[in-house]
Structure 1
């Protein structure tokens, strides 16, 4: 039987794969596991947040019912970003947190992810315990022992106040276009940037439950690029549906991805001696250009598996100060326990304001090598990735590229896909090598 939890919680087509019944059972099982871990002898509490997609209302009700039925008080914080749920779990002193979101996925999907006390993502072993507990007969308290569902109207204000503590330099004089993806950041992101002094032009900030991530946000940057040029803005920022990502657009309309944002923040932190052990944590998907730029800046680059949970594990293991992904999940442990798109936007704009340097010039610290990523749908992703013919094609490509590029082949964490990524000195070379490997993968996987 396949594992229920993927790389970032439980995710699937809402009301088909991810049903209210599953959500209720999952929440009840999580309540049992977290209560076993708790040293708190009062009634357990859990923060529950969601993004604005329509199915979130249904799943929120099911999650809150599952918690209450197991004797847990649900603190309902409404539509907020994923990092807000992580922060509020700690800020309210809750035993755990639940976020209902499918992040950058299309509207019909949804997901459920958990945070432990303090707002930390779960280790695999804890997820396995929750999954196992779903098969047990769960105790059902009665009378006054049944949990309650409580609303927290101050949740957004608490989170915005927390974000403000990260800045030492105001953003007055900067004009930013913010693409909110019709998602969880639609109110909070423009407010946070405005609070810090920036002039904010918000686009795709009118969620109706159906339009989240619809040709907008961090996975569809074209409209943001056009808006930055139209308004003559200093930069643009793009979030995804649950606002744990941030990508940027400079004043010329060029995209500045997570690798470049990390390079900017890492060098700034290194200069002021705030980068612990002078280490940046990235994933194996980060561009070779980031490795070269960090080497030239005297910064050590530590790589983790794909997924911000693995970046977080490496950050916690080494006590490091900054990490993230090319996709725009950036983690700054001094201010958050998970990727935070709004925090990233604030810190990036702070560098522009504090140095008086345009984003294009700041991003010039790294040169992006052409990268080609091909997703190949297969029947059994793990068997294909381990096949001899696929391994041989990768070895041959690596020998061809030498130290001028690299090859990364990995199974998707959430779908039956094998991802083939190639970096090379030219786009044509990257495309050619990636296509050759992808053809072998497709042949084996058909």
Structure 2
């Protein structure tokens, strides 16, 4: 239906059953079927997909794309060459970023370009949306890494939380394992941690915890998204605005919790020598205090705090330097700590790095030796070496979806779990706290090496052969579902494992191929595992 008063330029395509109420449409615009446009401006070359809605006063800049069933709210401005995802509801101007997403949360928390996608204005509204899903007067832990943009965004997020009547326990700059430890100890309703994204140096990552320190569930994420997009934000009177406190003795509390899970005598009696590269992260201000108390001879590298993220090339250079130092001083091991205290790479006595699936297998072997017949939780893409090691020790392996929340929940839900995670995600020791913790992992590894009387080189010699490769292929969003259905249809159910994505297994051995859609981008991950490199 085209009402009187519409202005339509040249070479405009209008789909069937579209409803146009006095819009101004420039040249070369394509409008999909069943779209709704009301008193808006659609600039040159823009494409609106099926059932898109653009409301009164909105202006869409040239060469933009509005996805299927997306909605542009009244008086919203979209700058040129932007893309609004299918199903997205855009109620703020889209100026700096390139894309308006239909979801706030991705595979792991809320992430985006620092000060472009994740701005102070965005953080205020996000904080208010999160706080509106909690009861007024609730308390929330807020922490961050040492970087300036994390400080800026955390202050904005705190303002949003306080505006809806949420009290803040501000841990300021600290490692994320400490935040997870303090969340249940402070008796708060949840927590938020802000940091540089572990894999994208120009991105910021915002993670939300529940009252136990586990990443919040998908249902809670949807509640926050609903409050954010619908602007269903609570407002409280001046007397009920949240207050902020700064808890004391955070590191001491973490250290005491840390010590209860370790055999300190075994560590101190073995007098281990360890070289640790902190890669200029905040964990460098914490771990030296802990290791000194455990009687370790710790040589520290790059422990000063840096405001910017360390590029991948520099991190590899630091790892090479670490290997040289370990070999020169004849240390028991070396470790490079990253991801705000969650992840690490080991270096053995000969200066060679141990990472990825080799690190997973080494930690699983060591933990099963210390705790036979226990349970280990790993992501679906971990190598089959884990099961081979478990069979040697009468242990059990639980595989989960390929996301941190699933690993945390499974590690907490199952009794007798001794270890969770992988070399890529970091490791969980559920008796300590529910999250990944590189600092405790290293201390526990030193304890197990001392009690077992083994070195890293000796453990590696015992590991099964690992032939494990992964690839990333571009795959349009619209094809992902059809691809998964096709793979399920053409394979017998005995060959399939559908924990996450589609894993095609060989029932006769431990060989398999996993096709795993990426939750945040137009990619699929293909992971292959075999007992032979051929």
Q: TM-score higher than 0.5 here?
A: yes
**Structure 2 counterparts to residues 216-235 of structure 1, below 5 A:** 221-235=319-333
Does the CA-based 8 Å contact 1:49-1:98 persist in structure 2? Answer: yes
Shift of 1:219: 11
1:49 match: secondary structure: strand
- Determine the structure 1 residue equivalent to 2:202: 108
The answer to whether 1:11 aligns with 2:11 is no
Shift of 1:402: 6.3
Distance 1:389 1:120 in 2: 33
- Determine the structure 2 residue equivalent to 1:366: 463
Distance 1:215 1:191 in 2: 29
Q: 1:399 to 1:187 in 2, by over 3 A?
A: closer
2:339 match: secondary structure: coil
Does the CA-based 8 Å contact 2:123-2:156 persist in structure 1? Answer: yes
Match of 1:208 among 306, 311, 315: 306
Distance 1:398 1:74 in 2: 47
1:75 match: secondary structure: strand
C-alpha RMSD over aligned residues: 2.9
1:313 match: secondary structure: helix
Match of 2:389 among 293, 305, 318: 293
The answer to whether 1:51 aligns with 2:145 is yes
Does the CA-based 8 Å contact 1:290-1:368 persist in structure 2? Answer: no
Q: 1:404 to 1:148 in 2, by over 3 A?
A: closer
Task: Spell out, residue by residue over 1:122-144, the C-alpha distance to the aligned partner (whole angstroms, 9 max, x if none).
Answer: 11111111111112332222323
Q: How many residues align?
A: 416
Distance 2:505 2:109 in 1: 37
- TM-score, normalized by length of structure 2? 0.71
Structure 1: any 5+ residue segments left out of the alignment?
37-42, 430-446
Task: Spell out, residue by residue over 1:144-200, the C-alpha distance to the aligned partner (whole angstroms, 9 max, x if none).
Answer: 311123233522232223212221134231111112232231111222222211111
Match of 2:351 among 249, 253, 256: 253
The answer to whether 1:95 aligns with 2:195 is no
Task: Spell out, residue by residue over 1:258-291, the C-alpha distance to the aligned partner (whole angstroms, 9 max, x if none).
Answer: 3321331133122xxxx6xx32111112111121
- Determine the structure 2 residue equivalent to 1:443: none
Distance 2:113 2:485 in 1: 31
Task: Spell out, residue by residue over 1:372-429, the C-alpha distance to the aligned partner (whole angstroms, 9 max, x if none).
Answer: 111223332734742748997999x9689963632112122333321111123344x2
Task: Spell out, residue by residue over 1:70-126, the C-alpha distance to the aligned partner (whole angstroms, 9 max, x if none).
Answer: 111222112211121111111222221110024422331111111111322211111
Structure 2: any 5+ residue segments left out of the alignment?
1-87, 89-101, 496-502
**Structure 2 counterparts to residues 51-130 of structure 1, below 5 A:** 51-130=145-224
Deviates more, 1:316-325 or 1:335-344: 316-325
Deviates more, 1:176-185 or 1:219-228: 219-228
The answer to whether 1:378 aligns with 2:475 is yes
> Which structure's CA Rg is the greater one?
2
The answer to whether 1:167 aligns with 2:262 is yes
- Determine the structure 1 residue equivalent to 2:123: 23
Distance 1:224 1:54 in 2: 27
Distance 2:316 2:421 in 1: 15
Does the CA-based 8 Å contact 1:106-1:214 persist in structure 2? Answer: no
